[in-house]
Structure 1
Amino acid sequence: MPDTHHPQRADSVLLTIAERLTGMTDITAALEAVADDIARLIPFTHCDICMLDRPGWVVSHEVGIRTRWSRASSRIDNAPIRDLLLGRCEDMLTDDATQDPRYTFDGATCEPILNHRLRSRVNVLLKVKGKTVGTLNLSHSDLGLYDADTVTLARRIAAVLAPWFHILHRADRTRRASGSSDEGLRRGALELTQAMEQERQRIGMGLHDQTLADLSRLLREVTGDTPLPREQLADRLRETIDDLRRIIDTAVPTLLELFGFAHAVRVHLERSADAGTTLDVTDLTEGGPDRLDPTVRTALFHITQEAINNATRHAGAGAISVVVDRPSPNALTVTIRDDGCGIPATPARQSGLMHMRTRARLISADLDIRADHGTVVRVTLRASA
């Protein structure tokens, strides 16, 4: 069964997947490199990545079983996952694809499903900057193996794979169009490698500055003359684990550098919020944060990230919105608004608020946190900064 009961293990596997993809220049080899890791989370008989190619056509790359899907490009209208590719749904799940008319309609290229009896299937979108670039498709010969938890886990895997395979596919198209054997692939791989190296440095700083300090404090409290009660110790450990997971969640791969501020914020919102939470990200500046100095943009993103974490983990928010605006020619604002219970007058744990204020000071930004039917956090950057 899919490994949905150990979120820390899933985080570790997802980080491993991102590490394996570093430096890859061939899209099929990249899929083969991470196939075993994907199977650790979701067992499969067949796995394929389907990428949108020229208008109306898709190309597939597969592992597990070699089928006609990867031998030639196919028309979207004939793809068993056409409902996904045409935007009719966000995911597809079935106990038996061989009997499901969504997969075996008249004219569908469904021979692999029938010939290899690929019954259980889960299909989720690959998205970059909110735009569909392809799908991740997992199949198993056993009946009824996948469920709603599998869909959630497959979406997490897809979020890691999407930017890597998008760039590799673009490089592959460039190579095919130009006839240059490796130049396009090398360019794409170089972009990914440089971005991942920068992210590794950021992760190291985060682990040193936050997680190591928290663990050291816990050690002192456990070994001191008056050790913490069991329940308080468990609460502190959960907080530290949440912080570590936050670092891991933002590590794969550097969505901010590759695909921009608004997309990175949207992905973090979707990963952090509970099902049913209303989410909205609006950029009224047409990419204003992405024209900032990279250091300033990164700090702005982490402040936004922390405000989102407070809303999802502590305030019980049912609706969260992020708006990027330019209220005047000399100012840029990011406003995070939620309808949760607000921030207590004396919060039990203030490290998140301290991090937000410190980051704001470092980039000479104004940080305003106030109550308004929930919490409103506004970061303002002036032209002088």
Structure 2
Amino acid sequence: MGDMEAGSRLGLLRRLDGPKDVLIPVLIGVLQVMGTRVVQTPQLSDGVLDRVPLDWLGYALLVAGPVALVLRRVHPTAVLLTVVGITSVYAVLGYAYGPCFIALMGAFYAAIVAGRRQVAWLTAGFWYVGLVLYLHLTRSTPGLFHDIAVASFLLLVLVLSEVSRIKHERVAEQARRSSEEALRRASEERLRIARELHDVLAHNISLINVQAGVALHLMDEKPEQARTALAAIKQASKDVLGEMRSVLGVMRQGGEQAPRTPVAGLDGLEELFARFRAAGLRVRPETRGTPRPLPAGVDLAAYRIVQEALTNVTRHAGPQATATVLIEYGPRELTLRVEDDGPPAAVPSRTPGGNGIPGMRERAVALGGTLDARPLPSHGFQVVAHLPIPAFAETR
């Protein structure tokens, strides 16, 4: 029981907005007490108001309202009703008018800003009508001007509170949108990191796996060819480390400065083809149209799609297959086509269910393009990507 009470008190303290929740009520209390002491003297014997002087109960009521305001953020409705009751008792007992209504105005403001608009407006209406009726029934009203002045001031407080509420809600909405945008960017960044690492690792490790198998097979009978395979493994390992450093370096730098290491692009395809040829894959490149600089995003995506498609060829069709790579530069579109002549038995295992094909498709779709991956009618597999090239875009 003691732990629950302690936890409840701790939660209450956390919901308070620091010193401001206490400082403002203290200032209101000082203004109400000192201000009422100043303005009460003319009201005691002016023949119109004839208010009664402050006594211990009057001072207690002037202080009680501000004390209740300490919890205005935690329990705005309860604080509003409490302060309305305290102020009503003060007025009924005949104490002097003046700053005694500051706590009441603060309670209405806190309730409206907290979203208790209906309660605040209804309470204000009932309180004003009740006050006016009481003053008229007891023949203690200062007159019509007093009634209009109180109504105008109360309405002004409510309207200003509504304006402040709208401002607070806009700020909160902007903060919410900023938070959602930050979460979205973080999610996109995680996806980008995963995609880049998958492309780098899958490609090179697949080549290492193929070359290791070749080396084991030829170790005893053809040691020279086995040595060549081991050299290819060493080079692939070096390449994967280099690309990993490049990817991670770009991610560390973020948008602060340009990366110091080159980012993969179509100008690196010849080196990519050489690595696959070293693994035994026959690669036949073909280019149509006039090669030209591409936007960085299109260039990187095109390279990664070709890389992943060739990796899939070595993984599923075997290193002895032949892959044809077509790069076609159109006026507004870059077309990539990777076909292989793998045996029919290899095709069913290459259905788009792994990470490679979805990753390639995500890259294409992110640029507004498309990617299609399917078995060819007789044998082999085909990957076709269409990547739009913006008319006005920054190139590499």
The alignment's TM-score, normalised by the length of structure 2, stands at 0.33
Could you say which structure has the higher strand fraction?
1
| Structure number, greater radius of gyration | 2
Could you say which structure has the higher helix fraction?
2
Higher RCO structure (Cα 8 Å, ≥6 apart) = 1
